[in-house]
Amino acid sequence: MARVAGVAQSTVSYVMSGKRPISEKTRRLVQDAIDELTYQPNAGARALASHRTNIIALVVPFRSSVSAHGLMAFAEEIALASRAHDHDVLLVTADEGPEGLRRVAGRALCDALVVMEVATHDARTEVVRSLSLPTMFIGLPADAEDLHCIDFDFEAGAELLLRALHAGGNTEVHVLGWGADTEERDINYVPRVRRRVHDVAAELDLDLHWHVSPHGAAGATDFVAAVAAAAAARPPGLLLLHNLSAAETALRNAGWRPGVDVDVVALAPDADVEALEVPLTSVSTQPRDVSRQAMDWLFALLEHDAPGEQRRVPGVLTDRGTVRPRP
């Protein structure tokens, strides 16, 4: 490459590493030689020189009850951010638990870790404290001290929706909560949302009903049936936390049109809400924005360590007309 560019080998090295200032003309000569030779840096040699692998390990759940569609938004943004920083992504299955983190770190397979599907009481937090690798939790465990954690502000998002239903004149609200499998896995945002919803309902003097149902169409149908049984002159307001498409079908079968016959809001990504026949007033959980901010923060930690911190990405209410104005 140095011969093709007409420069010294050390000059090529300086252009590639950025360790010394190089004139734009010389940099252009080296870049043209790279393009001509379709040069790709040797990952092994680069790792030896920099003491880095240029790999980010992403710990993700793989099971039938976890939506691959929901994970894809996170994984895609994490992969794009990694490539923008000249890093590759190594997938690690969450079911390996703490041992998976020890294995990846002990074999020096990556420069940093991103941990998803964080439990309220997550055994991996203690392992991470013992590692020297920068680690980003997407989720807020109960014991988050000294850890770097980021998540959507589920509590504030749920509160915005509950207040929107109250502002529409609803005095009774039924919540389609996450399924029993999610509750059993102790996923961190579930108790966070439940606490805030109950607190806000008490403040607003709302008659609140929380439904934990089986996953899928049967759960949504049972939910709508329970709402119909409780309905008097006016159907109660509905807050959907999952199963949006199944709930929409169940509402249609019951003869209720969101925003016409019943007030319905959702806490879900915009893509899921906008895919419905009647897009709902909602607060997006912003999986892509959370992932982008997580990766920006993680790459900053790779350059300069910083004390643990917990960050929350705020939500915004998008009014799509499925809460009727107060009479």
Phi, psi (degrees; rounded to nearest 5) at 211: -110, 120
Residue 56 CA to residue 82 CA, distance in Å, equals 7
- For residue 268, which phi and psi values (nearest 5 degrees)? -165, 160
| CA atoms of 306 and 303, how far apart (whole Å) | 10
Which whole-number Å values give the CA distances from 146 to 143, 314, 326, in the listed order? Answer: 9, 22, 46
Neighbours of 140 (CB within 10 A): 23
- Nearest Cα to Cα of residue 175 among 230, 121, 120: 230
Q: In terms of Cα–Cα distance, which of 116, 109, 152 is closest to 131?
A: 109
The two counts, helices (H) then strands (E), for the chain are: 14, 12
> Which one-letter amino acid corresponds to residue 225?
A
- The amino acid sitting at 104 is V
**Which domains does the chain show, CATH number per domain?**
2-40 (no CATH), 50-152+287-314 (3.40.50.2300), 154-285 (3.40.50.2300)
Integer distance in angstroms from the first to the last C-alpha of the chain? Answer: 76
CA geometry: angle 153, 112, 315, nearest 5 deg: 10
**pLDDT on residue 28:** 82
Both tokens of 121, joined, read: 């009481």
Task: Judge residue 158's burial from the number of C-beta atoms within 10 Å of its C-beta, 0-12 exposed, 13-18 middle, 19 or more buried.
Answer: buried
pLDDT in tens, the chain (327 residues): 567 667 777 777 777 766 677 788 887 887 887 776 655 554 444 544 446 799 999 999 876 555 566 788 999 999 999 999 999 999 998 888 899 999 999 899 999 999 999 999 999 999 999 998 999 999 999 999 999 999 999 999 999 999 999 999 999 999 999 888 888 889 999 999 999 999 999 999 999 999 987 666 677 888 888 888 877 667 899 999 988 999 999 999 989 999 999 999 999 999 999 999 999 999 999 999 999 999 999 999 999 999 999 999 999 999 999 999 877
Query: What stretch of H or E contains 186?
Result: none
Contact 22, 15 (CB under 8 A): yes
Per-residue pLDDT at 181: 81
The pair of three-digit structure tokens given for residue 58, joined into one six-digit string: 């992403």
DSSP structure class, residue 140: -
Contacts of residue 228, defined as CB under 8 A and 6 or more positions apart, other chains included, come to 235, 254
Q: Is the dihedral of CA 100, 101, 102, 106 positive or negative?
A: positive
54-91 core/surface letters (b: 16 or more CB in 10 A; e: else): bbbbbbbbeeeebeeeebebbbebbbebbeeeebebbe
Query: Any idea what DSSP says for residue 326?
Result: P
What does the pLDDT read at residue 44? 47
Containing 191, the helix (H) or strand (E) segment is: helix 189-204
Strand, helix or coil for residue 136: strand
Per-residue tokens: 88: 């590759």
